[in-house]
Amino acid sequence: MYPTKALQNDQASVIFSLLWHVNRELRHRGYKATVTVGMLQRYIPHRYTALGKIPRRCELRLKCPHPSCNSRMVMDWELVRVSEKYQVFREKIICSRSDCPLNTPDPLVQEMCRMTREAVYSSPPDILIANPDILNARLNVMGAEDPGALTILGKSAWICPECGTPHGYRPRTCKVCGAKITNIHYKHFSYPRVIVVDEAHQMRGGFGAQVSHLLTRLEEAIRFIKGLQEWRPLYFISSATLNNPEERARELVGAEIESVVLISAKSTGRTETYRVHVFIMPKVYSPEATVGRIFEVIYGGLSSIEQTKRAQLEERIRRVREQIFPDFPKNLPTVLVFANTIAEVNTLLGTARSFTACCPARPRIDGHSTDFKAERVEKEDGFTSGYYHALIATSGLEVGVDFDRVDIGIIYRMPFYITDYTQRIGRIGRRQHCLIFNIFMPDTPVDYFYYKNWKLLCEGELRELSMRNETYRIDRDNVEAVKRSAKRSVIDYIAIQPDAERLLSRSASSLISGSSILQVLEDLLRDPQLLEYVVKSLRTAKRELAKEVAQSFANRLLDDLWTRGTLLRAVKATVSGIRSLRTIEEQVEYDIYDVEDRHRELSYAFRHCTPGQVLSYRGVCLSIDTIDALRVFEYPQRELESEEEL
């Protein structure tokens, strides 16, 4: 389990490559088993599309594992069936390079990869790469595939032989492709025994508390589905920057401290690399112009030096460059810049491009922030492959994404936490010596502090010490987290019932095993077993609070059942405030001149929406023109104008 999708993508490639070699070796030694891997996140496609819509060939984040090739794997589609509503396809995972042996579907690759939702649900892989949000969505029946998709936790289901769609009850035909389903399609599955939580330091604060409950909710759901009593999975909690790791692990999984074993990282025998730090607090130049000048010098320009001294300095720089970058300008140095905000990325992008325009070696520079949405993947690939020489990124790139070829790093403004700084410099100079420019803002107290205490940044031991003082802990007993998780746990309890699909989707008055759905649900949701389930699934000291919230939520669902018609509609109407593990802040849409739209939280948007304000986007600037209001409170004649509220 990875905290972000970017990390999932990044690490999937490594795992895929490793497994391909493992499986080949297994086959070579005569074993028939294949270790399978699958990916589950928001952008994983279905095997079916609406009629008339042809799915595009999609590039996967997996690199071709063949030793002679390093290209991307792609997913092609083959039409297998057309139903009344959908076209069903079957995926083929091949290498994108036409002359690669894996360019034709390789049986081993097809067998070991689960890269569509239906592939994952119909045959859960041995290793599932997921994130907390997608697992919460499956448990809380947020998608069309739910609750059948709980096959990933070991729940039995009827699997369509054509498209692989799971069904929680036995239908005559598949709800997607219309293929006939019989008893032989009823499948039993195993359950996850090991849960790996990578980059665990990201699971902190409110998000961390809710993820910790999610983990124990998962456990309890598995115990219920498989009838296990005292079983607990084996957890691996991993991070390079976790303060007090035993305690954090205990908090995260709700275990006893005695059951936590600390395994420290050992040297892998990698060559020792040096990071040379340069600290600059510009007082005459603006900080962004300083970065521009750094870029200029890196890529061969020296315009800021007075003409008379230029030749002498150029010669000195040339000599240094020859030693560090002997292939310059054939191979240009790679630069990774970290900024704190999207606006800073956009500003630096414009500045760096302007200042390098006159350099003889024309470097390709691009940005990496949420402005670039799905294109971020292309930027990361381009940077890894050497197409882009410099990437200017926000904190989204600071965790886990490994680039082996960064020569120079620029930290533009200090992050508040030294942990975040450590992550940033961790992306730089992983394989070779590197240079790090630390650019401080003269008018920011936090930057000023780090400028004065520069040793904290460049001395590993001091950094370690400092990180230990940065207290972040996970509070499983956080009142709000307990309340939200108790509600989620009630929905889990419904979703894992054998008849869940019918209970959720049929009208309250319809019959199931001779009783009305309403009656069955009343029995289920007023049963003391529900409260016991909730308490066990949260592992919190605030048991009474959890019980109280769960009972009142269950009662509300029953009350809503009449007005909403089905339990699924009642659930969807009540979960809006608890959908996200990360935030419940309202989102505001920014319409970028009909070209693109991006969403920002209201806490940002209320400060950046007055007409005339400047807004940067992918290196260019725009201005706020108009705003549409969600609500308007008018004074002195106070009125309420809102389509949604009224």
Partner 1 sequence: MRRFPSVRIVRRLADEVEYAGEVGLLPSINASEIAEALRGGRRGVIVQLVVPRTVKCKPRTNLTELHLLRCLGRDSAVLDASTHRDLIKRPVHSCGGTVVPAPVWIISSRGIPPNRRVLYTSQEARIMLSAESYCHLSLRRSPCRLEKLWIQNMSRPIANLRIKVAGLPGSREVSVVQRLGPFQYLLTLIPNERITRPISITAFYYDPKTAKKVELRGELPGVEEVYLCEDLEVIQATVGYKVGHPRESNASRITVLDYDRDHRVYRIPVRWIKTKGLVIKVDRQYVRDILGTDTSTLWRALHTLCHAFLSPLPGVAGLDARDFGEALSMRHFEFAVFDNSPGGLGGVEGVVNPRTGVLNRHYELRIIDAKNCPLRCMRACIACLYSESCYMLNWNLDRTILLKLGW
Interactions with partner 1, residue window 438-497 (CB under 8 A): 444-446, 449-450, 453, 469, 471-475, 477-483
Cβ proximity of 393 and 339 under 8 Å:
yes
Contact between 283 and partner 1 per CB under 8 A: no
Quote the least distance from Cβ 327 to partner 1, whole Å.
24
Decide whether 425 or 588 has the Cβ nearer to partner 1: 588
Q: How far is CA 93 from the centre of its chain?
A: 23
Print the binding letters for residues 230-259 with partner 1: x by CB under 8 A, - otherwise: ---------------------x--------
Strand partners, 237: 197
Give the chain's radius of gyration (CA, Å).
Answer: 27
What does 44-82 look like in DSSP terms, one character per residue? PPPSEEETT-PPPPEEEEEEP-STT---EEEEEEEEEEE
Contact between 580 and partner 1 per CB under 8 A: no
Quote the least distance from Cβ 412 to partner 1, whole Å.
13
- What are the C-alpha distances in Å from 33 to residues 26, 38, 161, 164, 194? 8, 16, 22, 21, 19
Decide whether 236 or 593 has the Cβ nearer to partner 1: 593
Count of residues interacting with partner 1 (CB under 8 A): 98
> Which residue, chain included where needed, has tokens 């521009």?
292
Q: Can you say whether the dihedral through the CA atoms of 612, 614, 616, 619 is positive or negative?
A: positive
Decide whether 158 or 207 has the Cβ nearer to partner 1: 207
Decide whether 162 or 288 has the Cβ nearer to partner 1: 288
Decide whether 309 or 431 has the Cβ nearer to partner 1: 309
Please give the residues from 400 up to 429 whose contact with partner 1 meets the rule CB under 8 A.
416-417
Contact between 387 and partner 1 per CB under 8 A: no
Print the binding letters for residues 179-218 with partner 1: x by CB under 8 A, - otherwise: -------------------------xxxxxx---------
- Which of the ranges 103-111, 213-221, 351-359, 494-502 carries the binding residues for partner 1, by CB under 8 A? 351-359
Decide whether 403 or 450 has the Cβ nearer to partner 1: 450
Q: Which residues contact 385 (CB under 8 A, 6 or more apart)?
A: none
Quote the least distance from Cβ 624 to partner 1, whole Å.
6
Decide whether 256 or 625 has the Cβ nearer to partner 1: 625
Instruction: Give the span between the Cα atoms of 540 and 535, in whole angstroms.
Output: 7
Instruction: Give the span between the Cα atoms of 506 and 330, in whole angstroms.
Output: 66
Decide whether 261 or 629 has the Cβ nearer to partner 1: 629
Decide whether 353 or 564 has the Cβ nearer to partner 1: 353
Cβ proximity of 431 and 402 under 8 Å:
no
Instruction: Give the span between the Cα atoms of 427 and 259, in whole angstroms.
Output: 33
Which H helix or E strand runs over 553? helix 543-564
**Residue length, the chain?**
646
Contact between 368 and partner 1 per CB under 8 A: no
Print the binding letters for residues 104-143 with partner 1: x by CB under 8 A, - otherwise: ----------------------------------------
Q: What is the DSSP letter of 122?
A: H
Quote the least distance from Cβ 247 to partner 1, whole Å.
11
Contact between 326 and partner 1 per CB under 8 A: no
Q: What is the DSSP letter of 136?
A: H
Q: What is the DSSP letter of 170?
A: -
What does 258-280 look like in DSSP terms, one character per residue? GG----------PPP--EEEEEE
Instruction: Give the span between the Cα atoms of 76 and 584, in whole angstroms.
Output: 37
Strand partners, 234: 194
Of 264, 323, 576, 610, the residue at the interface with partner 1 (CB under 8 A) is 610
Instruction: Give, rounded to a whole angstrom, the gap between the first and last alpha carbons of the chain.
Output: 42
Whose CA is closest to 400, among 241, 244, 277, 264? Answer: 241
- Which of the ranges 117-125, 182-190, 488-496, 604-612 carries the binding residues for partner 1, by CB under 8 A? 604-612
Please give the residues from 528 up to 567 whose contact with partner 1 meets the rule CB under 8 A.
none
Decide whether 174 or 339 has the Cβ nearer to partner 1: 339
Instruction: Give the span between the Cα atoms of 45 and 43, in whole angstroms.
Output: 6
Of 358, 465, 541, 573, the residue at the interface with partner 1 (CB under 8 A) is 358
Print the binding letters for residues 288-317 with partner 1: x by CB under 8 A, - otherwise: x-------x----x-xxx------------
- Which of the ranges 88-96, 124-132, 349-357, 495-503 carries the binding residues for partner 1, by CB under 8 A? 349-357
Whose CA is closest to 165, among 501, 570, 498, 510? Answer: 501
- Which of the ranges 130-138, 156-164, 175-183, 579-587 carries the binding residues for partner 1, by CB under 8 A? 579-587
